[in-house]
Amino acid sequence: MQKTALIMAGGRGERFWPRSRKNMPKQFLSLTDEGKTMIQLTIERLLPIVDVKDIFIATNKDYLALMKEQLPDIPEENIICEPIGRNTAPCIALAAAHISKKYDDAIMMVLPSDHLVKYSSMFQTTLRDACDVAMEGDNLVTIGITPDYPETGYGYIKFVNEYSEGNGRAFKVDSFVEKPDLEKAKEYIASDEYLWNSGMFMWKISTILQKIEAFMPDVYEGIMEIRNALGTSMQEDVLERIFPKFPSISIDYGIMEKAKNIYTIPGTFGWDDVGSWLALERIKRSNEYGNIVDGNIVTINTKNCIIQGTGKLIATVGLDDLIIVDTEDATLICDKDQTYDIKKVLENLKICNRNEYL
């Protein structure tokens, strides 16, 4: 069966402020030592299993120009612009409608645009396995990540740790669980029955449309109306009229928590969701003092800092465990334990109408 992919690239990535901005979200940034942007790396690791003409990208129309600039090989008609962000369920429904216009049926892989994978070939093997499972019946497949530590920032997948006939490396999913507190996360890790929810899914177009019809009938109805208008002069008008009315609901909540026949394949391909500046400690090389340093930097008695500069000189004296990010018009200096509060800076700027910094 034809393989297609949907890359979800509508996110803001506020946690990478001041590098990420409203007009330059995280997926368009280069955060690794390789120099490529997150979305470029996402496409690159997908190309051995999906033809570029079958890679679809859902994004906000504001990012269309950036998308074309960074991904010149993706056909323009494959860039699906949401009029407004409505979380993952309506986004996936819209993309399924697009793909169903192109193919009677096909495998649809749904992938985030701003995560990293260390071992591409293992990633590709896992996705191929997942596609095989997704071809059977009305299976919904999700990639679970074997946890390294009790992370409280991710959702978890509880799975049935038993070999299930005919499904290769896949395990039956028991349930999806919300982000736990630390104690619960520790229990999950100890139990061997939980994986991290990576937000990567595989299914047939026919399957996901059928599930949307079953569990989100209003969205299904709207999406079918949009589908009928695709390729006509009415396309934009219908999309603008209907899409914003959809509820803002995640695919986890809208479908996965309600459907049956859900399988997970554990991925062990060095996944990282690159959720904050702290991720740089995992994905970039540090120097002998534990500093991760880019730019024009002089450090004196400075340890375990993340310093991301530009051409401007940054000199540090006597610092530990700080994140320093310099850009043309803004500098962030943040305690490593308080990256969660970077959003408070943005709230403050919003309140003061200083939109030039958002």
Smallest gap from Cβ 43 to a second copy, in A, equals: 32
CA dist., res. 6 & res. 231, Å (int):
19
Q: Which is nearer to a second copy, 165 or 329 (CB)?
A: 329
For residues 274 and 38, the answer to whether their CB atoms sit within 8 Å is yes
Residue placing its CB nearer to a second copy in the complex, 17 or 56: 17
Peptide linkage before 18 cis (omega within 30 of 0): yes
CB of 21 to a second copy, least distance (A): 12
Query: Taking CA 252 as the corner, what is the angle to CA 55 and CA 39, rounded to the nearest 5 degrees?
Result: 30
Nearer to a second copy, 66 or 334 (CB): 334
- In the complex, the residues that contact a second copy under the rule CB under 8 A are 18, 298, 300-301, 312-319, 322, 324, 326, 329-335, 337-339, 341-342, 344-345, 348-349, 354, 357
Q: Decide if 250 contacts 136 (C-beta within 8 A).
A: no
* Residues 268/118, Cβ–Cβ less than 8 Å: no
Residue nearer to a second copy on the CB measure, 103 or 357 = 357
Minimum gap (Å) between residue 218 Cβ and a second copy? 40
Closest CA to 56 of 78, 89, 85, 83: 78
Closest CB to a second copy among residues 15, 211 = 15
In angstroms, give the least distance from the CB of 14 to a second copy: 12
Q: What is the residue-wise DSSP string for 309-320?
A: EEEEEEEEES-B
- CB burial string 239-251: b at 16+ within 10 A, e below: beebbeebeebbb
Q: Rounded to an integer, what distance in angstroms lies between the CA atom of residue 179 and that of residue 221?
A: 31
Residue number with CB closer to a second copy (214 or 298): 298
How far is the C-alpha of 347 from the C-alpha of 350, rounded, in Å?
Answer: 5
Closer Cβ to a second copy, 164 or 338, answer by number: 338
Residue 26 Cβ, how far from a second copy at the closest point, in Å?
17
DSSP-derived pairing of the beta strands 55-60 and 79-82: parallel
Choose between 118 and 344: whose C-beta lies nearer to a second copy: 344
Estimate the crossing angle of helix 217-229 against helix 235-242, to 10 degrees: 160
State residue 238 phi and psi, 5-degree precision.
-65, -45
